[in-house]
């Protein structure tokens, strides 16, 4: 890389990060390593978040989108620079200009470059002028249909999958435009959208660029981010398993020429769509900020991209970039989310009751949460970015999958995660073969999303009463029961020397019922004189031996199979168990459960806390199965709720604008055998 120049220097000694969660913590880490004091801003919902406590100072504001408040916080704390992270105000040219006007260093590209390239429509125009191939597109709604179907509606000022809708036919267009516009306005404060041709079998490949203090730009190779759900990335890796040296050079040259024409400074990403069949590439957009997936580039290049950003903001030189350097191994990142892949990746809320990564394999954990953190409805439900690097792609995938399996992770208050889904993706033969096009989940979703056609949620399985359908699940359920009996002995204050399960007469075995959300497992056990336990209602379902018990787990042997398991008790009624490559959350079923109020048949309830955007039906209206009847906004994303069966709307209990909690009854549909005829 040329044009690095001599150190001029614009020193600052403290840095405000205008963001939250894992990206704030990640920027703080580099800032501290460079001797910079750190300043956080936070809203009420984040008052107890780890990033707030980690900063040297933290200033309370009302919104992360309030640029004036952020700049005011910098003045209050005496910060000399502002790093925007990603999302929120990161690609807001007006905010960048205001930061500089306030006499602060802006850690990012020049405001003019953000305005030109951060606007997706303007960036396409610049790409065309630079001779970079682009997909057919238009920002004129009257011309959207002329592009042909399928087409993709995209937010003009956004990213991260928000404000994006695939349109397959003309009758879907108006709703997609309106929905994408609302989501874009909520996420970015700008409701403009545009349309472009949608390529079904393609790869999402992006080039990491870095511009120095003098505006000379170089690239650090590519990342592939093709596996996506809801237009948000799930798995990111570098280098791409598809891109060869010639394609890498061509895309890198296009990215550098486009950014260099604007005198680009700092980090950025030029995104391309690559046709999987022809190898053609098309410009998509430029993200004028640090990307969520930047760690995979750091892992194979050995660079700290945040350090480069800070050096550029100080007008100091960065280390030279060798665009022809070979990648050092392979890196893969997954986004560990609070969401339910088996239920259309619906975001989930609740408490992170257990979160303890294993010591081995050594992975990079960029996270904004810790045990006890609440995942609410206000922000993206990311728990962590988890990154593995290996000498080969297969080794990186294996390390990452094993690290996720060994992660002790548990959710309370209804929280579910995509951990098992990510493991299944990483171990899928198509993924390991590099067949990672954007339709990966369309093709293989049924194999990895965790949906089951097995027992109904209220089915009961008696552990030890016969062959287990899933030996690992049997082992974990028994571990939960054995840990509980150990906990009871540890808490005992009378007869503490009496062995657990000691009986002076012939009484029935102990019984514990555990509900894992899919079924209830009934565990029967009876203590034996040698300290082991006979399993099953009659005691002939196996032999268990607890070699060691401690408050965070146990060493259990069952019929000659032995393993250590991690256990967390987040409440008297809830346990979280991890071992044998999987984790389970268990609710203890009470012996005498109080009767529950039943929801009326045909009830449509809120799957999560959120705000009602629309009720699309009226009382007395006939609806068909699959018809959207309500729209709920949660975590800046719209969620369409559909009728489960044909029927007639008999009751509506909420209105647009209402805030609702999880499981709130929204409306009732009375089933009908022939609603269309009626």
DSSP string covering 166-205: EE-SGGGHHHHHHHHHHHHHHHHS---EEEEE--SSEEEE
Q: What pLDDT does 403 receive?
A: 98
Do 386 and 363 touch, CB atoms closer than 8 A?
yes
What residues contact 55, with CB distance under 8 A and at least 6 apart? Answer: 17, 24, 28, 38, 39, 40
Rounded Cα–Cα distance for residues 584 and 372 (Å): 17
* pTM, entire model: 0.84
SS3 of residue 622 by DSSP = strand
Residues 217, 221, 226: CA angle, nearest 5 degrees: 125
A 10 A CB-CB count for 339 gives 27
Q: State the DSSP H helix or E strand holding residue 151, giving kind and residue range, or none if neither.
A: strand 151-155
- Residue 302 near residue 321 (C-beta atoms within 8 A): no
**Dihedral sign for Cα atoms in the order 42, 48, 50, 52:** positive
Beta bridge partner(s), residue 218 = 210
Q: Which numeric CATH code is attached to 603-671?
A: 2.40.50.100
Exposure on the CB side of residue 527, measured as CA atoms within 13 A: 15
Helix 305-313 / helix 21-33 crossing angle, nearest 10 deg: 70
Distance separating alpha carbons of residues 525 and 541, to the nearest angstrom: 9
Q: Is the dihedral of CA 103, 105, 106, 108 positive or negative?
A: positive
DSSP string, 330-375: EEEEEEEESEEGGGTTEE--EEEEEEE--SSS--EEEES--TT-EE
Beta strand pairing call for 520-527 and 193-197: unpaired
CB 678 within 8 A of CB 626: no
**Residue 8: predicted pLDDT:** 46
Rounded to 5°, the CA angle 179-229-583 comes to 130
Nearest one of 412, 542, 578, 555 to 486, comparing CA atoms = 555
> What local confidence, expressed as pLDDT, does residue 456 receive?
47
Q: Cα(587)–Cα(571) distance, rounded to whole angstroms? A: 9
DSSP, collapsed to helix, strand or coil, labels residue 221 as strand
CATH topology of domain 136-198: Dna Ligase; domain 1 (3.30.1490)
DSSP state of 85: -
Round to whole Å and give the CA distance between 652 and 264: 54
Q: Would you list the domain boundaries of the chain?
A: 14-117, 136-198, 460-588, 603-671
pLDDT value at residue 599? 61
**403: which 2 tokens?**
């690290």
Q: Which two tokens stand for residue 535?
A: 């399993």
Cα–Cα distance measured from residue 531 to residue 542, given in angstroms and rounded to the nearest whole number? 14
Cα separation, 137 vs 144, whole angstroms: 8
Q: What averages of pLDDT result for each successive group of 10 residues across the chain (678 residues)?
A: 50 97 98 98 96 98 97 98 96 96 97 86 84 82 80 74 78 83 76 81 96 94 95 95 96 94 93 93 93 97 98 96 94 97 91 96 97 92 97 98 97 93 98 96 92 56 74 95 92 60 63 90 91 91 95 96 96 95 93 61 84 92 90 79 90 91 88 59
Decide whether 14-117 matches 603-671 in CATH topology.
no
**Domain 460-588, classified CATH 3.30.70.1140, yes or no:** no
How would DSSP label each residue in 411-444?
A: EETT---SHHHHHHHHT-HHHHTT---TTHHHHH
pLDDT reported for residue 500 = 56
Domain 14-117 classified CATH 3.40.50.20?
A: yes
Report the pLDDT value the prediction gives residue 3, as an integer from 0 to 100: 47
Q: Work out the burial of residue 649: count CB atoms within 10 Å of its CB; fewer than 13 is exposed, 13-18 middle, 19 or more buried.
A: buried
DSSP 141: G
The reply to whether omega before 268 is within 30° of 0 (cis) is no
Q: Are 228 and 161 in contact (CB under 8 A)?
A: yes
């Amino acid at each position: 890389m040329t044009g690095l120049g001599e150190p001029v220097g614009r020193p600052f000694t403290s840095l405000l990060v205008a963001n939250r969660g894992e990206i704030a913590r990640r920027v703080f880490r580099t800032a501290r390593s460079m001797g910079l004091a750190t300043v956080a801003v936070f809203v009420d919902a984040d008052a107890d978040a780890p990033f707030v406590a980690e900063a040297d100072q933290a200033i309370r504001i009302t919104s992360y989108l309030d640029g004036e408040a952020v700049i005011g916080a910098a003045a209050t704390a005496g910060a000399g620079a502002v790093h925007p992270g990603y999302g929120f105000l990161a690609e807001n040219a007006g905010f960048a200009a205001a930061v500089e006007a306030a006499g602060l260093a802006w850690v990012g590209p020049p405001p003019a470059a953000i305005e030109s390239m951060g606007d997706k429509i303007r960036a396409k125009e610049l790409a065309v002028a630079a001779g970079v191939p682009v997909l057919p597109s238009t920002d004129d709604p009257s011309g959207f249909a002329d592009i042909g179907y399928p087409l993709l509606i995209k937010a003009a000022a956004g990213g991260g999958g928000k404000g994006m809708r695939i349109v397959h036919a003309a009758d879907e267009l108006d709703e997609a435009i309106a929905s994408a516009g609302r989501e874009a306005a909520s996420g970015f404060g700008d409701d403009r959208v545009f349309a472009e041709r949608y390529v079904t079998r393609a790869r999402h490949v992006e080039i990491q660029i870095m511009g120095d203090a003098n505006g000379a730009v170089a690239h650090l190779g590519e990342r592939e981010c093709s596996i996506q759900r809801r237009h948000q990335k799930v798995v990111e890796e570098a280098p791409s398993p598809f891109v060869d040296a010639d394609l890498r050079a061509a895309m890198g040259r296009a990215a550098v020429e486009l950014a260099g024409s604007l005198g680009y400074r700092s980090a950025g990403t030029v995104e391309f769509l690559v046709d999987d069949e022809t190898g053609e590439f098309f410009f998509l957009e430029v993200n004028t900020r640090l990307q969520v997936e930047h760690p995979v580039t750091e892992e194979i290049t050995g660079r700290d991209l945040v350090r480069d950003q800070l050096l550029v903001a100080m007008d100091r030189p960065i280390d030279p970039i060798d665009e022809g350097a070979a990648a050092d191994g392979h890196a893969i990142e997954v986004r560990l989310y609070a969401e339910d892949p088996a239920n259309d990746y619906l975001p989930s809320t609740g408490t992170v009751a257990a979160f303890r990564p294993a010591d081995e394999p050594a992975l990079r954990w960029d996270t904004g949460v810790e045990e006890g953190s609440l995942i609410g409805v206000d922000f993206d439900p990311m728990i962590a970015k988890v990154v593995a690097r290996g000498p080969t792609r297969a080794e990186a995938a294996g390390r990452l999958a094993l690290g996720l399996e060994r992660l002790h992770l548990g959710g309370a208050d209804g929280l579910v995660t995509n951990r098992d889904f990510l493991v299944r993706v990483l171990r899928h033969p198509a993924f390991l073969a590099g067949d990672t096009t954007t339709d990966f989940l369309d093709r293989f979703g049924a194999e990895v999303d965790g949906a089951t056609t097995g027992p109904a949620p209220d089915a009961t399985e008696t552990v030890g009463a016969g062959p287990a359908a899933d030996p690992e699940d049997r082992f974990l359920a028994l571990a939960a029961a054995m840990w509980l009996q150990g906990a009871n002995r540890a808490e005992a204050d009378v007869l503490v020397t009496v062995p657990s399960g000691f009986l002076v007469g012939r009484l029935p075995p102990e019984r514990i019922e555990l509900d894992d959300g899919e079924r209830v497992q009934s565990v029967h056990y009876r203590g034996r004189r040698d300290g082991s336990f006979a399993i099953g209602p009659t005691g002939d379902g196996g032999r268990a031996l607890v070699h060691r018990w401690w408050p965070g787990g146990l060493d259990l042997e069952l019929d000659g199979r032995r393993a250590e398991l991690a256990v967390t008790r987040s409440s008297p009624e809830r346990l979280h168990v991890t071992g044998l490559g999987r984790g389970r959350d268990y609710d203890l079923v009470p012996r005498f459960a109080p009767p529950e109020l039943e929801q009326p048949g045909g009830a449509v309830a809120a799957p999560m806390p959120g705000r009602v955007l629309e009720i699309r039906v009226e009382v007395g209206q006939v609806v068909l199965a699959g018809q959207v009847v309500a729209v709920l906004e949660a975590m800046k994303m719209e969620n369409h709720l559909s009728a489960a069966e044909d029927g007639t709307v008999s009751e509506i209990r909420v209105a647009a604008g209402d805030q609702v909690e999880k499981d709130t009854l929204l409306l009732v549909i009375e089933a009908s055998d022939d609603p269309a005829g009626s």
